Structure 1
Amino acid sequence: MIIFKDFESFNEYVGLKKPIDNDIDIGYYDSINMRSQSEPVKADFYRISIKMDYTDKTLAVPKPITAIFFSSPEMLNGWNVEPNYTGMYVQLSKKIIEENRFLFKTYLDYGQHEALYLTESEVEEISTLFGLMYKYYKSEKQDFGVLLSYINVLISVVEAFYNRQFSTNPKQYNRIVMDFQQSLKDYYNQPVNQLPNVQYFADQLGLTPNYLGDIIKHFTNKSALENIHEFVIKKAKELLEKNNSMNNTQVAYELGFEYPNYFSKFFKKQVNLTPKEFREQIKSNNFY
C-alpha cells in the first residue's frame, strides 16, 4: 500500500497540479487527465473534496452524485470512477490542522461515515466561496490568515448543510440516537471500573466520537457528554435512594468513579446538593 506524506507526491499520483505550498493546497479537478482507478492508498494529510456529477463504479447501483467528501490521515482511499466529474479540493497539512484546530470543528473525520450531499443552491454557494479562495491562493500572497478565514467560512457553511442533511432523513440518524441511548442503559448492566465516555460509545457503535457527538447534539439539543452525565446522575440518584446500605464511597465506585470525592463534587455540580444532602431530602420527603 502506498502512503503519501506530502501534497506533491499525491498530486502527481492522482494527476493534479503541483502544489504551490506544503501546508495548504487548493485546486480544481480535471478528471479527464486524472487517475480514474486506484487500489487503496493513504494520504498523511487532510482533504476536503467537492465533486459534482461524481459516479463511483464500485457501488451496487452507480449513479452521479454531487457531494463533499472528507479524508483524514489513516483513512484508506481507493477509487474506480467515471472520468467526467468536476469540482475542487482543499488539502491541509497536519501541522496546519493542529495549529488551528479551533477552526476545523469536527467534520474532517466524517469521511469514515458519510459524504455531504449538496443541493443545487448549495453547490452554487460553495462554488462562489471556493472561487474567491482559489483566486487568493493563486495570487501567492501567502497570507495564511486570509486563507484560513476563507476555509473557516467554508467549514461554517458545511455545518449548516450537515444540519440540513441530518434533518432531511431523520430515520437514518434516529437509529444512531436510539443505539446510543440503549448502550447507555447497557453500560451499568455489567461491573464497571470507570465512568462512561463518548469514546466508549463511539467504539460500541463503530463511529468516530465527533460524528456521534454531532448527531446526538442535533437530535437531543445536548452534547453526547451532557447525555452521559445526565444518565450517570440518574443512576446515582437511584442508588442513593434505593440502596440505604451503600455509603457514598460505595456508590461512587459502583458508578465507575475513581475517587469518591470527585463523585461528590460531580453530584453537587449537577444536582446542587451533595449526595448526603440528597439522601436527607429523600428521607424528609418520605417522612412527610
Structure 2
Amino acid sequence: MITFNDFTSYNQYIGLAKPLDNDIDVGYYDAPNMLLKSEAIAVDFYRISIKVGYKDKFDPNSKPVNAVFFNSPEMPVGWDVDPTYTGMYLQLSKKAIEENRYLFKSYLDYGQHEALYLTDEEVQEISAVFHLMMKYYKAEKQNFNVLLSYVNVLVSLVEEFYKRQFSTDPKQYSRIVSDFQQSLIDYYKQPVSQLPNVQYFADKLGLTANYLGDIMRHFTQKSTLENIHEFVIKKAKELLVEDKKLNTTQVAYELGFEYPNYFSKFFKKQVNLTPKEYRLQAISKN
C-alpha cells in the first residue's frame, strides 16, 4: 500500500492543485479532472474532506450524499466514485496538529468510525467558512493566525453537526452506550488486577477513546471516566454492605485498586464518607 508523506505528492496523485504551504492546504474539488478510482492508499497527515453529491460505487445501492470525511495518518482509504460531486478539503500536517491541538480536539479520530452527513443548510454554513479560509490561505503566511481561526470555526461546526447526528439516530449510538455499560458489568465478573480505564473499553468496543468519550458525554452528560468512576463506586458500596466479611483493604483489591489508601481517598472524594464510615452508616440504617 502506498503512503503519501506530503501534500504535494498526494495532490499530484489525486489531481488536486499544488499546495501553497507544507503544513496547511485548502482547496476545492474538481471531480471530472481528478482520480476517480484508487486502490487503498494512506497519507501521513490529516484530511477533512467535504463532499457534496458524493456517490460511492463500492455500494451500488447508495445514493448521493453530502458528508464530511476524515483521514488520519496510516488509515487506509480506497475509492471508486462518480465524477459528479463537488466540495472542499483541508489538509493538516502532524506538526500543525501538534502545535494547535486545542483547535482540533477529538474529531479527527471520527474517520475511523463514520462520516458526518450534512443537511443542505449545514453545507451552506461550511461553504461560507471555506470561502473565508481560501481568502486567507491564498494570502499565505501573512494571515496564518486568521486562517487557523477559521479552521477552528470549521471544527466547531463539525462538533455541533455531530451532536445533531447523534440525536438524529439515537438507536445507533445508544447501542454503544449499552455495550459500554455491559462491558463494565462484565469487567467485574472475573477477578481483576487493576482498575478499568477508558482505553480498555474503547479497545473492547473497537472505537477510539475520543469517539467513545463524545458519545458517552452526549448521551449521559458525563465523560467515559466519570461513568467508570460512578460504576466503581456502585460496586464498592455493594461490597461494603453485602459482604461484611471483607475489610476495606480486601474491597479495594476486589475492585482493582493497587493501593488501599488510594481506594479510601477515591471513595471519600466521591461519597464524602470513608469506606468504613459508609459501611457503619449503612449497617445502622438497616
| TM-score tier (shorter) | over 0.9
Q: Secondary structure at the match of 2:140?
A: coil
Q: Name the structure 2 match of 1:174.
A: 174
Q: Name the structure 1 match of 2:64.
A: 64
Whether 1:227 aligns to 2:221 is: no
Q: Name the structure 2 match of 1:26.
A: 26
Q: Is the 8 A contact 2:232 2:255 kept in 1?
A: yes
**Which letter does structure 2 place at the counterpart of 1:143?**
N
Quick one: distance in 1 between partners of 2:253 and 2:94? 40
Kindly state the Cα deviation for residue 194 of structure 1 after the two structures are TM-superposed: 1.2
Whether 1:38 aligns to 2:35 is: no
Gaps of 5+ in 1: none
Whether 1:51 aligns to 2:51 is: yes
Quick one: distance in 1 between partners of 2:104 and 2:94? 12
Runs of 4+ residues over 4 Å off in structure 1? none
1:115-139 CA-to-partner distances (Å, cap 9, x unmatched) read 1111111111110011001111012
Q: Report the CA distance shift for 1:38/1:142 in structure 2 as closer, same or farther (over 3 A).
A: farther
Quick one: distance in 2 between partners of 1:63 and 1:207? 27
Whether 1:117 aligns to 2:125 is: no
Q: Secondary structure at the match of 1:143?
A: helix
Q: Secondary structure at the match of 2:12?
A: helix
Corresponding pairs, count: 286
Quick one: distance in 1 between partners of 2:75 and 2:180? 24
Q: Name the structure 2 match of 1:11.
A: 11
**Which letter does structure 2 place at the counterpart of 1:121?**
E
Gaps of 5+ in 2: none
TM-score (ref. length: structure 1): 0.97
Quick one: distance in 1 between partners of 2:11 and 2:144? 21
Quick one: distance in 1 between partners of 2:187 and 2:53? 44
Kindly state the Cα deviation for residue 284 of structure 1 after the two structures are TM-superposed: 2.4
Quick one: distance in 2 between partners of 1:141 and 1:94? 18
Quick one: distance in 2 between partners of 1:156 and 1:40? 30
TM-score (ref. length: structure 2): 0.97
Quick one: distance in 2 between partners of 1:74 and 1:249? 45
Q: Secondary structure at the match of 2:70?
A: strand
Quick one: distance in 2 between partners of 1:271 and 1:47? 44
Q: Name the structure 1 match of 2:217.
A: 217
Q: Name the structure 1 match of 2:83.
A: 83
Quick one: distance in 2 between partners of 1:262 and 1:283? 24
Kindly state the Cα deviation for residue 62 of structure 1 after the two structures are TM-superposed: 2.8
1:168-211 CA-to-partner distances (Å, cap 9, x unmatched) read 11111111111111111111001111111111111111111111
Give % identity: 73
Q: Is the 8 A contact 2:116 2:165 kept in 1?
A: yes
Kindly state the Cα deviation for residue 250 of structure 1 after the two structures are TM-superposed: 1.2
Kindly state the Cα deviation for residue 74 of structure 1 after the two structures are TM-superposed: 2.1
Larger deviation, residues 138-147 vs 40-49: 138-147
Quick one: distance in 2 between partners of 1:194 and 1:138? 53
**Which letter does structure 1 place at the counterpart of 2:122?**
E
Kindly state the Cα deviation for residue 224 of structure 1 after the two structures are TM-superposed: 1.2
**Which letter does structure 2 place at the counterpart of 1:149?**
S
